[in-house]
Chain A
């Protein structure tokens, strides 16, 4: 890719129209044989999947906390969110370990607590969150009699609030983890990427909860979940649109070319607009229960696909951003 079998690059008149030109939008500067200045992230599907799953588990903590405690269908939703939250929190270290290579390597991160490293904060956040998620599942199992009442005193009621707070952290810290790096695209989104991560995580959590509720026939909560999902999605759309505007040439790897098209189609249209339209459709017409159920399932799966592609686009576009020396010469503040 960076071998210079081509002669030294002379600016051509049609450069102004070539979106792929590495210099587009950046001040004129010499390069060193057009070689990348920065190293690209060594992160593949397992890290992408962690960003997705780790965020959604946090969002489920929020969903579990906002459900009402005095309504039967909300209690079923809370139970669903708690079980799904623990399942996804448990999947998270497995994904991280699959990236690190060997399980004991995960333990190296437990030697220290480092406030300056979002990765260190994230590991501790994940561990604490998993603890509260396990506690809330234990609470469910004690309440329904599966576990002995004698375990009651080990599960303090304050755990619910703690899980929600840690859930807020889990839903967005991965955005901070990306933006607090030298990768120009990510750095340019120091506010937008964390905010978009939170929105996508909450929308994804609503989608998981809707899916779960639709499958177990708890249709009464679907409308409320879809309203929260719509709020999160509208904010996400606004944040991603604004990021495109402020990121300028730094944002090109994310918004331009085939990757940008895929991102728009899957995340913005497929993951936000179509579920939104389906949700309005469900509200306007009195659909038969079967149709309502399938509408919810399709809409939730689309939202989840959009959330995954958002993370994948961020990572892959970050690799391209690192390869452009012009973006790296003047790093975003």
Chain B
């Protein structure tokens, strides 16, 4: 208790080691007591979780590619466990009007559910589409992941959500476990050490060594988020080793921190408002 921690912790998730077992998804749901998302078969490879959401804080993407090369047709299958990026400058953290979203002593971005008022501004402020609202108090005791429901049920539940007010949910980087000195549940459960947890500086060194080693062996591998991703976001607190373009894993190639547009917005609004006020003043003085 109360141990001062100066380091920032994070995840390094390696697509070349992931076997798509989804143990991370299960461990996360179990430890964080997250409800099931319903049984829906998407037909999108082996991925029935579909995306990160308010109740799915790890999501294993299954990327299937078929290439026609010199050696004939090559089928490639790449899996990657996606998670909240715990950005250095986090859109959700900046947007939150209640202060529910904080940066904790481990340098992670954490949502305090008892402070969140369900305004939904963080949802549209995440450049990675991670955080989402989730219904907390469902009168019928049903818990749904809005994102994976079909269109009608989703609308129905959006309505319910609007009535009772949801709260924002996303990966906590197992804040509670870290405080006890434990490794986050997903990293603990990963059987291949595709998910590594630890001090970010050490993880980045490890990742650079890993990617150099893979490239030496002729594997097309690249890091995503170990260094500044641009757009004012900085390096990611959870970064990835990919074997394809970021877009094929549903990661943005050029994410932008939304607050960087504020200065331009306020300036344009002020010019328009002062201009019109002046015009109004002149019109009422001229006649």
Contacts and interface: CB of A to CB of B under 8 A. Distances in A.
Interface of A: 1-5, 29-33, 35-39, 41-44, 46, 62-63, 65-68, 74, 99-102, 105-106, 108-109, 111-112, 114, 116-120, 122-123, 164, 167-169, 171-173, 175-177, 179-183, 186-187, 190-195, 197-199, 202, 223-224, 227-228, 231-232, 235, 239, 318, 322, 325, 328-333
Given A114-B97, A176-B265, A197-B269, A30 B247 contact: yes
B261 A180 contact: yes
B151 interface: yes
Q: Which 7 A-B pairs have the closest CB atoms?
A: A101-B165, A172-B269, A32-B250, A168-B273, A176-B265, A66-B280, A194-B269
21 contacts: A3-B43, A37-B252, A39-B131, A44-B162, A74-B284, A100-B119, A101-B163, A105-B117, A108-B116, A111-B98, A114-B96, A180-B262, A182-B129, A190-B268, A192-B268, A198-B272, A322-B124, A322-B129, A331-B252, A331-B254, A331-B255
A332 B256 contact: yes
A181 B117 contact: no
Given A182-B127, A191-B265, A224 B283 contact: yes
Contact of A42 (B120, B248, B276): B120
A333 B252 CA distance: 13
Contact of A224 (B120, B272, B287): B287
B21 interface: no
Nearest to B271: A195
B84 to A, nearest CB: 12
Contacts of A325: 247, 250
B17 interface: no
A116 B97 CA distance: 9
Contacts of A183: 124
At the interface, is chain A mostly helix, strand, loop or mixed? helix
A179 B185 CA distance: 37
Contacts, number: 263
A47 B215 CA distance: 50
B174 interface: no
Contact of A118 (B128, B250, B262): B262
A195 B268 contact: yes
Contact of A1 (B44, B51, B65, B151): B151
A108 B270 contact: no
Q: Which of A4, A109, A123, A322 has the most CB of B within 10 A?
A: A109
Contact of A331 (B165, B231, B267): B231
Interface in B29-55: 42-45, 47, 50-51, 53
B129 A30 contact: no
B279 A109 contact: no
A209 to B, nearest CB: 11
B184 interface: no
Contact of B264 (A111, A191, A202): A191
Given A30-B245, A108-B117, 7 more contacts: A33-B45, A114-B94, A173-B269, A180-B125, A181-B124, A186-B124, A228-B279
B280 A63 contact: yes
A328 B237 CA distance: 21
B115 interface: yes
A32 B115 CA distance: 34
Nearest to A176: B265
Interface residues of B, number: 86
A65 B281 CA distance: 8
Q: Which of A65, A106, A114, A123 has the most CB of B within 10 A?
A: A114
Contacts of A39: 53, 123-124, 126, 129, 131-132, 147
B265 A38 contact: no
B95 interface: yes
B142 interface: no
A168 B284 contact: no
A182 B120 contact: no
Contacts of A197: 269
Given A38-B129, A117-B96, A191-B264, A228 B162 contact: no
A117 B272 contact: no
A65 B278 CA distance: 10
A101 B265 CA distance: 29
A169 B126 CA distance: 25
B118 interface: yes
A119 B95 contact: yes
Contacts of B280: 62-63, 66, 202, 228
Nearest to A123: B97
A116 B43 contact: no
B250 A29 contact: no
A199 B272 contact: yes
Given A105-B165, A120-B97, A195 B272 contact: yes
Contacts of A235: 272, 275-276
A91 to B, nearest CB: 18
B163 A116 contact: no
Nearest to B133: A42
A182 B129 CA distance: 8
